[in-house]
A and B are shown apart, each in its own frame.
Chain A
């Protein structure tokens, strides 16, 4: 098991080329020259680690060649079942053109650090400026940062922003009854260090129950959160009313969405949204086991309270328009415990990919995807509804991408039978499946309808 025997515990004074790191390119003579220059006989002499805490054991990790590791990973990941995924709930599998991956993989982008030296990183800064600008157009809000980790942490950051801004007071954060568990739990952790309390408000057939929300909102309410589409794929029909309720209570209206839906649905700023959060990874990133890109946009009034990185335009000494990280005094490396957030490393490269994908699509291409998502969800719901033992959609609303279906048989059993037929769907209740159209081809949807008809009876 171990790659290092008894004698291997003592590292060769001149390094161990044969068993060393393939990415530490020192030759033997070169190492000797450098050790001489430093005035020691071996690297070991440079370590100032007291004996009792020095590690002289083995990890028991064998080094493998590139070829072996690629083969191992190929074999291992092949153990994942080959399924057509009709899965969504915040993570959508849009086709990402090859050109996006190839351009994003250019090492000048991929292997660079945060742009602390803007003169030598103009390319990435411009791409991030373009990404921020894209979100400004889609949301109608003046400010977008250049990324959060994911939709859940972006929601958490929105809540702490709501607590900080001067125009709000109180401790209550109202969130919809239908909310992804991950978002609910992460939000709870982000507010654990504050006085904020998270409470749910009810839904009415899949969308906000406006009367119930109006009743719950009071002067202690600091934030009202809603989503469009909802986690169940329903288009929220009462955004303006939600905005008014929040406004009446001097609470922030925080809206969760995604760039593709936003290219078709009512502009958040028009509905009175103060902050837009959500997932932007529908653009640029293939399905990646929940890895995401958190979007965060807000009104200009909050610019000094925004979490994360902001790229701004400036001018260089020759008068050329340039870009740089700005308002860094909000951030942890300057402001420490008084920073607007602890975020440092973010999802910049994923934001780059999203910007590339969006630039290839344009407004018309984005809106066409969203229209397709509405049409296909509606079509598939009709076909599923025609199956004996299934009624869909459960909610009599407009849907984007996905919808709930009621099954007469227990939903978990149907889900398991569908896996045997090669399809994956969500179970969201004893008799509810959730079905998403985004990543599937038309042929795959035909196959799914046939398979569901077989197992749902």
Chain B
């Protein structure tokens, strides 16, 4: 939460001049010597001790203001004084790899650099308010949310957007509930959701959570949706087709217009999984392709930090027909006669709430800041460089990439090698590895998404890591990683002899 220094010179516009010199100098290609030794605090047969192994205190209940039968008997927990606390978590952070550590080309995860200024924007204390205030006292917050609804609607080609879902999968669930409410309102009982085999696992799980039967759609030989198979899957029971475009192989579904027509002719709706929206920013909009409902993964496309697994946000966009079913409430601009400019409004046939309040405010504030920073040109440049980076990297690696033309990500095959082992070995070369063994249509898949934030130099470094590992034997792979905090971790032991808290370690 750094200071809000108004007098600070604005240098952010000059950044591009500073880096032109790079173009004149050949990047360091000194080769296979590049590696990474991650910090490893060691204490005998453990790393940094657990907080509970350092110091604990007991609570005292002799002075409880409550009767004994309402008061617990005892509680012992770790307690670290501030200097120890700072050192504990600093050491833990040193044993963790983030985007600011190096390349992080996890396919489908869109691990972009997370601009630092967004943290300061979100930390603004004026935005840190309780959700139950009267709307008249929340006009600042509501104005940001209103404009973010609008920005996202424009970017996706949608008519309305809800910001309430707190993650991508929550967005999927919301979209499915909205589609279900729409069908029900129209007097239709549709029980099936069609999902391509290569889709994200959340699509299947979200459909099932909402009570639908999942109809799995095999990929065609070219890695895309095959229209004959789709025809077979669609029917009177079809509520929704959930599609990722470009799909998880990075391929654009060229038949999207025909697909949309087929789904609509069958009486179904078309859902866009926004996980790969980074490829399309300013180039194509789901709304223009015939999609009726979509979610945005702002922690992917709009660079809000992944935070080691969250929080994210999964806003959902819909066309006019579905707008009445959105979660409660929407932020609207009030009538001129109203005492407030922005207000909450319950959509006419709302599905109700999908989060206890209004979703993940801190993440939404960062999303607004990111979109404002890039604007039209920046967003289009992001997709251009993301697609260029994936294509450039693919030309530099020795592994086969069976499907194309791909966009922001590609899926290489590790061939005779085990993709999971390849990933472990890549860690030794100072990079995070790709997503592995998925989608299954590519054997020993290495699903790679470098994003636009990498330069030629870091892409070359990534390529050297791929290629070095491609040339190594099974032993080297099986013994990897060697330079990380931990050597290879025994997953079977973790699952068989479950130890899920420090209590379990005592035995």
Contacts and interface: CB of A to CB of B under 8 A. Distances in A.
Interface string B385-408: 111110110011000000001010
Contacts of B46: 320-321
A247 to B, nearest CB: 19
A17 interface: yes
Interface stretch (B170-178, B227-235, B316-324, B411-419): B170-178
Contact of A118 (B353, B376, B486): B486
Nearest to A191: B211
A200 interface: no
Given A312-B500, A352-B308, A193 B172 contact: no
A349 B311 contact: yes
B377 A363 contact: no
B494 interface: yes
A298 to B, nearest CB: 11
A425 B114 CA distance: 37
Nearest to A371: B65
A431 to B, nearest CB: 18
A78 to B, nearest CB: 6
B77 A366 contact: yes
Interface in A349-370: 349-350, 352, 356, 358-367
A70 to B, nearest CB: 6
Contacts of B308: 109-110, 112-115, 121, 124, 128, 348-349, 352
B137 A419 contact: yes
A192 B211 contact: yes
A58 B76 CA distance: 59
B130 A93 contact: yes
Given A182-B353, A290-B131, A313-B504, A31 B388 contact: yes
Interface string A307-326: 00111111111111110101
Contacts of A317: 479, 487-490
B35 interface: no
B60 A108 contact: no
Contact of A61 (B70, B98, B376): B376
A168 interface: no
B328 A35 contact: no
Contacts of B12: 22, 65-67
Contact of B131 (A34, A289, A320, A416): A289
A150 B204 CA distance: 22
A224 to B, nearest CB: 19
Contacts of B138: 80
Given A50-B254, A142-B501, A345-B168, A15 B384 contact: yes
Nearest to B491: A324
B190 interface: no
Contacts of B306: 111-114, 345
B378 A356 contact: no
Contacts, number: 718
Given A289-B127, A319-B45, A23 B209 contact: no
A55 B391 contact: no
A24 B453 contact: yes
B107 to A, nearest CB: 11
B395 A23 contact: no
Contacts of A11: 380-381, 384
A291 B491 CA distance: 33
B135 to A, nearest CB: 11
Contact of A80 (B141, B452, B489): B141
B360 interface: yes
Contact of A349 (B94, B95, B305, B396): B305
B22 interface: yes
B455 A359 contact: no
Contact of B204 (A15, A82, A326, A336): A336
A23 B388 contact: no
Contact of A2 (B132, B376, B505): B376
B299 interface: yes
Contacts of A19: 375, 377-378, 381
A24 B130 contact: no
Contacts of B13: 65
Given A112-B99, A364-B57, A367-B60, A89 B205 contact: no
Give 4 nearest A-B pairs by CB, closest first: A290-B357, A193-B211, A362-B79, A63-B375
7 contacts: A24-B382, A33-B456, A67-B10, A73-B144, A138-B75, A143-B501, A345-B167
